[in-house]
Amino acid sequence: MITAATSQSTSSIQPSSAGREVLLEIRGLAVHFETRRGVAKAVNDVDLSLYKGERFGLVGESGSGKSTLILSLLNMIKPPGRIVHGSAKLNRRELTNLDGEEVRQLRLSEIAMIPQGAMNSMNPVMRIGDQLELAMAEHGGGEHSVRELMEMVGLSEATERLYPHELSGGMKQRACIAQAISLSPKLILADEPTSALDVVVQRQIMQTLKNLQNRLHATVLLVGHDMGLMAQFAERVGIMYGGELVEVGEVDKIFVEPKHPYTRLLIDSISSFETKGDFRGIPGNAMSLLNPPSGCHFHPRCPNKMDKCQERPPTLKEIAPDHTASCLLYEEGENS
């Protein structure tokens, strides 16, 4: 079943990785939380490359590790969490061992974050324009004036003089985007930036972000759980389950022919006119990070599971050009 949103997105041919320049390279990254009840492997040996100027969507249920992954890129993991191994390089510069001052310098100028709660990320006692001015001044100034930034995100000149509490949810999120792009960062991390907004405003904000990404030629890593939104926004998507990437590929290919059973269920769970109001969920509960199932972590919920799935974990393998999946169905001799 392909929804209207999906059909729309599948009409264009997405660029392949051939000849594209890598901006962010994550290798074997692992973030663990050491608790009294045991170690929760929130991000478990993730490998991922993002290209310059692409829109990448990271999708998964709550607790799949997608937000933890992007927080680790800015050294924002708080104890008892910590990066236990692996690397993340932005233009070949290691991010995982930066100190507080280095991260502060990197913020906005190289990497910007658009958070979930726009309200919480703004100073409540400073006018919007002053906040943008200050953020740019702290980093030696930006390429755009405050007025230009306002215009770029679709806010009126008068908004500069308002305080955050005077803005609607959509306006606050636009102000956050203005701050994020104020120093023309190479990488924009967006953590469910529209989750608190109604669906019409959500689509408008995502369109603004898409236009800005094109204009600035930045790479956007969008984290979310809404597959429909991802289909409209992203060029490539990565699906996370239980702290691991289970499928990565071009959005058109993944929506037309998902390889991993979890991806297929996520796509099928998108409501459409065809389902006439029926909600199709994914059976079972999200896995416990403290006590993960043996073998393939998805096996207790998988409609395609085989005996071997409980015995050994699959690994992420290329199963078609620019399309990887982690499932024993695609490992030679495993589905016989």
Residues at the contact surface with ligand SF4, assessed by CB under 6 A: 260-261, 296, 298-299, 302, 304-306, 309, 314, 327-329
Q: How far apart are CA 162 and CA 165, in angstroms?
A: 8
Q: Closer CB to ligand SF4, residue 20 or residue 305?
A: 305
Shortest gap between Cβ of 325 and ligand SF4 (angstroms)? 8
Shortest gap between Cβ of 319 and ligand SF4 (angstroms)? 12
> Is there a contact between 15 and 40 (Cβ–Cβ < 8 Å)?
no
CA-nearest of 287, 316, 280 to 301 is 287
Q: Is 46 left (phi over 0), alpha (psi -120 to 50) or beta?
A: beta
Edge-to-edge strand ranges of the sheet holding 38-51: 38-51, 22-35, 81-90, 93-94
Shortest gap between Cβ of 240 and ligand SF4 (angstroms)? 14
CA-nearest of 179, 236, 177, 228 to 203 is 228
Q: Closer CB to ligand SF4, residue 41 or residue 107?
A: 41
Query: Any idea how long the chain is?
Result: 336
Residue tagged 């913020």 (tokens): 107
Shortest gap between Cβ of 308 and ligand SF4 (angstroms)? 7
Shortest gap between Cβ of 296 and ligand SF4 (angstroms)? 3
Going from the C-alpha of 225 to that of each of 61, 222, 238, the distances in angstroms are 6, 10, 11
CA-nearest of 195, 221, 59 to 116 is 195
Q: Closer CB to ligand SF4, residue 241 or residue 255?
A: 241
Shortest gap between Cβ of 318 and ligand SF4 (angstroms)? 16
> Is there a contact between 123 and 164 (Cβ–Cβ < 8 Å)?
yes
- Phi (first) and psi of residue 172, to 5 degrees: -60, -40
Q: Closer CB to ligand SF4, residue 14 or residue 304?
A: 304
Shortest gap between Cβ of 282 and ligand SF4 (angstroms)? 12
Q: Closer CB to ligand SF4, residue 231 or residue 327?
A: 327
Shortest gap between Cβ of 302 and ligand SF4 (angstroms)? 3
Q: Closer CB to ligand SF4, residue 29 or residue 309?
A: 309
Q: Closer CB to ligand SF4, residue 52 or residue 264?
A: 264
Shortest gap between Cβ of 226 and ligand SF4 (angstroms)? 22
